[in-house]
C-alpha cells in the first residue's frame, strides 16, 4: 500500500484505510497471479475474481453483487452499456460494499459509518443489515433522491441529516473516523471498496475483451480510477494487451476534475456549492481527485462536462431508444459520449462501453421530468382516442 500524498509505504493491511502518517489517500498495489486465467474462474459476480482481490476474509457478506448485463446498443454495433442498475440495491456501490463490509467484519468492527449522496447509503445499509452491523449514515438534508432515502430507511439504518452539501457530510465522516477509532468508514476514500468496484473492468474484459474507451460519470472519482486499475492489473499480468482510454464525465455545475483535465492542470479547483440534477455526482470536492486524474491521464483519456439538460435528454434517449432505465448521473455517460464524438475526442467506430452506474428507480422525481402523454379520459372514449390517432397517422 502506498500513500498518494506523502509516499509512505506499508505492507498490505485491512486495518489501513487512510495514510497512518499524513491521513492521505492510499493506493493498493495488486499483482494478480501469473496463472490468472478467465476460463479457470468459478461463480459469478464480484467474488468470481477473488484471486485478484487482496485481503483476508474470514467472513464474507455478499448479496450476489456484480455480474451485471453488458447490453449492446440498438443504434451502434460499437457501443455497449454496463448496466450497474442490476446490482442488488440498484447501483455499482454494491461491488465495493461487499468487500468493505466483509473487511470490516473480518477486522472485528461492529459499527460502520458513511456519508452519501444516496447510493452509498442504500448499499451500505443493505450490507450492514446482512452483516448484522450497526450503521450510521450522514446525509445532506433534503438533497438525497427519494428512492435512495427510502432504501436506507427500509434497510434500517440510522440516518443523521446535516445542513449543507455532501462535501460537509463527507468531512464529518473523515473526522469521525480519525477521532473515533471504533467506526469503520464506508466512503470511497476507503481503498478496499475500490477493490470490489474494479471488477467492472474484469467483467468487461472477460465478456468482450478490452474496449477502446470506457465512459464513466465522475463524482467522488473513485470509480473511474477503480475501473482503470482493474484493466491495468489484467494487462500487467499479461491476460490482456491494452488499457482503454478512461473518459470521465461531470455535470457542468460540479465539474472540478473535468475542468482541471481540460486546462491541463494537475490540481483541480474545488466547487463550493455544486449543483446538478444528477445528485449522485453533485460533488464539489471529490476525495479521490488525485486517483481520477492519474487514471485519466495515464490511460490517455479525457474528461468532459455536460449540462443538466443534456443529462435529462440522454436519460430519455436511453429509456426510449434502448429500453434502459438509468438515473441522471448514469445518463451523463451517454451525454458525454455524444459530446465526445461531436468534439472528435472519440470515434464512432471505436469500441466503447458506457457505465450506467445506477437504476432509474432511484430518482422518481427525475423520471417525472420527462415529457409525458397522460390524458384524462372517460373509459368509454378510449377506443375513439386510439382509433383517431391511428387514423391520423395512417
Backbone angles phi, psi at 185, to 5 degrees: -90, 135
H or E element: which one contains 317?
Answer: helix 308-322
Q: Is 301 in the site for ligand PLP (CB under 6 A)?
A: no
Q: Is 108 annotated as a binding residue?
A: no
β-bridge partners, 114: 137
357 has binding-site annotation: yes
Question: What mask of x and - would describe binding to Zn ion in positions 17 to 36, judged by CB under 5 A?
Answer: --x-xx-x------------
Sign of CA dihedral 387, 391, 393, 394: positive
HEC per residue, 337-348 = HHHHHHCCCCCC
In the three-class reduction of DSSP (H, G, I as helix; E, B as strand; rest coil), residue 282 is classed as coil
Residues 115 to 134 in contact with Zn ion, rule: CB under 5 A: none
3-state secondary structure of 158: strand
Taking residue 84's Cβ as centre, other Cβ atoms within 10 Å add up to 27
Residue of 251, 184, 192 whose CA lies nearest to 222: 192
User: Judged by CB under 6 A, which stretch of 97-105, 218-226, 230-238, 314-322 contacts ligand PLP?
Assistant: 218-226
**Residues between 335 and 364 that touch ligand PLP (CB under 6 A):** 357-358
Q: Which of 221, 239, 246, 360 binds ligand PLP (CB under 6 A)?
A: 221
**Strand, coil or helix: 224:** helix
Which of Zn ion, ligand PLP, none has residue 330 at its interface (CB below 5 to 8 Å by kind)?
ligand PLP
CB of 27 or CB of 239, closer to ligand PLP = 27
* List of E strands, 218-345: 245-251, 302-306
Q: How far is the CB of 215 from ligand PLP (least distance, A)?
A: 12
Shortest Cβ distance from residue 119 to ligand PLP (Å)?
A: 3
Yes or no: say if 203 and 67 are a contact pair by the CB < 8 Å rule.
Answer: yes
Cα 89 to Cα 125: distance, rounded to the nearest angstrom: 10
155 or 189: CB nearest Zn ion: 189
Among the residue ranges 136-144, 214-222, 260-268, 336-344, the one whose residues contact ligand PLP (CB under 6 A): 214-222
Q: Can you tell me the distance from the alpha carbon of 362 to that of 339, in angstroms, rounded to the nearest whole number?
A: 25
Decide: 187 and 112 in contact? Cβ < 8 Å. Answer: no
Site for ligand PLP in 80-119 (CB under 6 A): 91, 93, 119
- Using rule CB under 6 A, residue 293 touches ligand PLP: no
Region of 131-139, 215-223, 313-321, 363-371 interacting with ligand PLP (CB under 6 A): 215-223
Report the half-sphere exposure of 80 (CA within 13 A, side-chain side).
Answer: 21
Binding to ligand PLP, residues 116-145 (CB under 6 A): 119
Q: Would you count residue 8 as binding Zn ion (CB under 5 A)?
A: yes
Task: Provide CB contacts within 8 A for 49, sequence distance 6+.
Answer: 41, 199, 202
Residue 219 annotated as lining a ligand binding site: yes
Choosing from 1, 3, 194, 312, the residue that interacts with Zn ion (CB under 5 A) is 3
Give me the residues that bind Zn ion (CB under 5 A), please: 3, 5-6, 8, 19, 21-22, 24
| Binding site feature residues for pyridoxal 5'-phosphate | 119, 219-223, 357
| Binding site feature residues | 119, 219-223, 357
Give me the residues that bind ligand PLP (CB under 6 A), please: 91, 93, 119, 188, 217-223, 280-281, 327, 329-330, 357-358
Amino acid at each position: 500500500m502506498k500513500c498518494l500524498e506523502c509516499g509512505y509505504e506499508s505492507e498490505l493491511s485491512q486495518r489501513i484505510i487512510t495514510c497512518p502518517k499524513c491521513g492521505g489517500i492510499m493506493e493498493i498495489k495488486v499483482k494478480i497471479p501469473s496463472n490468472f486465467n478467465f476460463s479457470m474462474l468459478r461463480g459469478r459476480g464480484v467474488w468470481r475474481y477473488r484471486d485478484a482481490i487482496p485481503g483476508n476474509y474470514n467472513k464474507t457478506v455478499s448479496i450476489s453483487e456484480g455480474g451485471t448485463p453488458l447490453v449492446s446498443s440498438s443504434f451502434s454495433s460499437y457501443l455497449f452499456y454496463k448496466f450497474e442498475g442490476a446490482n442488488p440495491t440498484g447501483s455499482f456501490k454494491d461491488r465495493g460494499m461487499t468487500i468493505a463490509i466483509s473487511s470490516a467484519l473480518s477486522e472485528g468492527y461492529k459499527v460502520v459509518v458513511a456519508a452519501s449522496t444516496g447510493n452509498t447509503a442504500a448499499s451500505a445499509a443493505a450490507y450492514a443489515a446482512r452483516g448484522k452491523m450497526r450503521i450510521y449514515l450522514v446525509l445532506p438534508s433534503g438533497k438525497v433522491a427519494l428512492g435512495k432515502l427510502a432504501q436506507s430507511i427500509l434497510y434500517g439504518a440510522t440516518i443523521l441529516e446535516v445542513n449543507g452539501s455532501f462535501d460537509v457530510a463527507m468531512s464529518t465522516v473523515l473526522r469521525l473516523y480519525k477521532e473515533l477509532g471504533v467506526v469503520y468508514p464506508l466512503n470511497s476514500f476507503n481503498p478496499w471498496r475500490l477493490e470490489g468496484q474494479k471488477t467492472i473492468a474484469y467483467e468487461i474484459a472477460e465478456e468482450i475483451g478490452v474496449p477502446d474507451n470506457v465512459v464513466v460519470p465522475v463524482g467522488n472519482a473513485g470509480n473511474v480510477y477503480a475501473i482503470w486499475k482493474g484493466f491495468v492489473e489484467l494487462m500487467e499480468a499479461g491476460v490482456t494487451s491494452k488499457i482503454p482510454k478512461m473518459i470521465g464525465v461531470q455535470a457542468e455545475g460540479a465539474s472540478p476534475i473535468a475542468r482541471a483535465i481540460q486546462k491541463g492542470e494537475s490540481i483541480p479547483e474545488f466547487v463550493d456549492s455544486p449543483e446538478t440534477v444528477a445528485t449522485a455526482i453533485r460533488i464539489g470536492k471529490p476525495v479521490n481527485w488525485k486517483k481520477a486524474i492519474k487514471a485519466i491521464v495515464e490511460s490517455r483519456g479525457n474528461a468532459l462536462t455536460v449540462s443538466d439538460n443534456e443529462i435529462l435528454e440522454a436519460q430519455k434517449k436511453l429509456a426510449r431508444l434502448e429500453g434502459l432505465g438509468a438515473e441522471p448521473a448514469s445518463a451523463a455517460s451517454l451525454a458525454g459520449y455524444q459530446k465526445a464524438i461531436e468534439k472528435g475526442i472519440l470515434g464512432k467506430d471505436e469500441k466503447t462501453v458506457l457505465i450506467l452506474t445506477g437504476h432509474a428507480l432511484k430518482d422518481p422525481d427525475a423520471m417525472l421530468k420527462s415529457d409525458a402523454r397522460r390524458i384524462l379520459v372517460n373509459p368509454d372514449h378510449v377506443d375513439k382516442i386510439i382509433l383517431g390517432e391511428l387514423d391520423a397517422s395512417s
